[in-house]
Amino acid sequence: MTKIVFLDRSTIGPSVTVTKPGFDHQWIEYDRTAPERVIERLKGADIAVSNKVPIRRDAIEALPDLKMICIPATGYDAFDTAACKERGIVVSNVRGYAVNTVPEHTFALILALRRSLVGFRQDVIDGEWQKAAQFCFFNHPIRDLAGSTLGIFGEGVLGQEVAKLGQAFGMRTLFAAHKGVEGLGPLYTPFDQVIEEADVLTMHAPLMPGTANMISDREFGMMTRKPLIINASRGGLVDEAALVRALDAGQISGIGFDVLTSEPPQPDNPLLAILDRPNVIVTPHTAWASDEAMQTLWDQVVTHLENFHRGEPSNRVV
């Protein structure tokens, strides 16, 4: 009988119907798993299901029965894919499930910041509207999206969907060329040009050595349009300390982040010190997590498990 162990059930929302594969199996799940308990909990398992619990080389070498790792997410940097390849372990991820939820969350951040919704909401709570001598007041900037420029870092399915929403709002959309790379073709606008011309910059790229801290002090110094900076992709694409410095210096007009370099954030994360500002919104890595998207994600997981059991593994990254 195939033994399947799900290491972090709590990373999938309670609204999701966690169906099981149709083949004969033993299913064991844990809400959370500390890294030091991975080997213990996966002992004898044929298949590991893990969203964010790392499975590194030491674990892979200590688990001779392990044949597959199924990741209920697109990113797989928590897993030692080289060690899996050496052992012949199949690694499958899910893709395309967030095609609506992440772009919608991205624009929720953009619209809230562009129209200063957080600041005005707080003003009403604080009684500022009630004290006003007229029907409205102008404590915060309000800008339309129509006619503005949206710079997008990442030209995959999520970046493409964000571009469609931007165009629906009447925005000019630019896909940034990869930093330091030329000759990518007509889809792309040079990296520095996007930095200089955009009113909103939004991240939809994977975190890799070439993209880590790709927006830092140099780039902030070039931002003549004082753009909003949005990240609903991966923590680490933007240098967070430089981001706060840029906000303090007036080089950017606002921050909308759903991801941070360490999650949950460490007490010394510089963004935690500015959360009370009206032009700062940080959400707890929930852009991907609409009810519809999470159910689609889980349905893909079950499909991958069944395909692997049938000898036809799908969405292989290894």
Q: Which one from 95, 178, 285, 306 is the annotated catalytic residue?
A: 285
Structure tokens at 254: 């606002």
**For the whole model, what pTM was predicted?**
0.93
- pLDDT score, position 180: 86
- pLDDT score, position 184: 80
- pLDDT score, position 110: 98
Q: Which residues contact 81 (CB under 8 A, 6 or more apart)?
A: 91, 317, 318
For the chain, the structural domain boundaries read: 2-97+291-309, 101-282
Q: Which one from 41, 105, 114, 234 is the annotated catalytic residue?
A: 234
Active site residue 95: no
- pLDDT score, position 182: 79
- pLDDT score, position 75: 87
Distances in whole angstroms, Cα of residue 220 to Cα of each of 61, 67, 84, 318? 44, 46, 39, 37
Q: Which one from 40, 61, 263, 292 is the annotated catalytic residue?
A: 263
Query: Given this chain, do its domains 2-97+291-309 and 101-282 carry the same CATH topology?
Result: yes
265: DSSP letter: P
Active site residue 234: yes
CATH class in words for 101-282: alpha beta
CATH number of this structure's domain 2-97+291-309, picked from the four choices 3.30.230.10, 3.10.580.10, 3.40.50.1480, 3.40.50.720? 3.40.50.720
Encode pLDDT of 111-145 as tens digits: 999 999 999 999 999 999 999 989 999 999 999 99
- pLDDT score, position 141: 97
Q: Which residues of the chain register pLDDT less than 50?
A: none
